[in-house]
Amino acid sequence: MILWKRKCLRDGFITKDWDQPVEDWKICYFLRSLQRNLLRNPCAEEGMLAWQIDTEGGNYWKVESLPGAHGTDFPDPKVKKYFVTSYEMCLKSQLVDLVANGYWKELLDTVRPDIMVRDWFAARADCGCTYQLKVYLASADYFVLASFEPEPVTIEQWNDAAWREVSHTFSDYPPGVRYILFRHGGQDTQYWAGWYGPRVTNSSIVISHKMTRNAASSEAQPGQKHRQEEAAQSPYKVVLPI
């Protein structure tokens, strides 16, 4: 294990003062080598490329530049654009094939590395909106083995237009995960023609080496719905964009 720790240090995956426990340095090295955002075009730099449009109500999805009308700057200045929804439900998704992205089956079933999901959303200051996010971990035959389904968030009209982050880490999920479905979107609450619904950008799915721990962790708003145990006991299929 000393060899693989040295490799991690050599390649800049850890620093000399690293003091966090790691279960397996060899696995840590390979996971850090593969680590990246598995979602394509997360910040709308390429229009709607790579996104499956599941629902396109009102005036459909649109891409705008930050900060946008009645909006605020994004916390990361490197993010320049966002996707925006309309006055009827707009949902889009990406289906991530983990094996195709270099994560071999034994790794996924035995190590079950942490899967970290993040999304950012905001409302216009002059219009209320409702935002939703659903993330599913699915098997090779598209049965859901675990999911993250926080309650939809409603932001009232005349708000501060601040960008809000929602995140979740899947840990110790059932073996057999081969796909991740990420789906988000929403609509405005005033039913105004145009693009007054929630704005979303900088979404991410990152596979990380697991620190020494047993319980799944989450960082999300109150009211979240985490269905890992229920799904493991009675897997169910979900409509996936395949």
What separation in angstroms does the CA of 78 have from each of 73, 75, 82, 87, 199? 11, 9, 12, 29, 17
Instruction: State the pTM of this model.
Output: 0.86
If 0-12 CB within 10 Å is exposed, 13-18 middle and 19+ buried, where does residue 201 land? Answer: buried
Strand runs labelled E in the chain:
52-56, 62-65, 81-84, 90-97, 114-122, 129-138, 143-148, 153-155, 164-170, 179-188, 199-208, 217-219, 236-237
Identify residue 44 by its one-letter amino acid code. A
Please name the residue that has the structure tokens 């075009």: 41
SS3 state at 30: helix
The rounded distance, in Å, linking the Cα atoms of 135 and 209 is 20
The rounded distance, in Å, linking the Cα atoms of 39 and 128 is 28
Judge whether residue 216 has pLDDT over 70. no
pLDDT one-digit tens code per residue, 130-161: 999 999 999 999 999 999 999 999 999 999 99
- Mean pLDDT for the stretch of residues 207-226: 53
Question: Which domains occur in the chain, in start order?
Answer: 35-237 (2.60.120.260)
Q: Please tell me the least confidently modeled range out of 17-31, 106-120, 159-173, 194-208.
A: 17-31
The rounded distance, in Å, linking the Cα atoms of 129 and 153 is 8
Residue 60's region, left for phi above 0, alpha for psi from -120 to 50, else beta, is: left
Query: What torsion do the CA atoms of 215, 177, 116, 226 make, to the nearest 10 degrees?
Result: -60
pLDDT band at 223 (very low <50, low <70, confident <90, very high): very low
- Using a pLDDT cut of 70, give the percent of the chain over it: 86
Residue 226 has which token pair? Answer: 């985490």
pLDDT one-digit tens code per residue, 23-79: 777 888 888 888 899 999 999 999 999 999 999 999 999 999 999 999 999 999 999
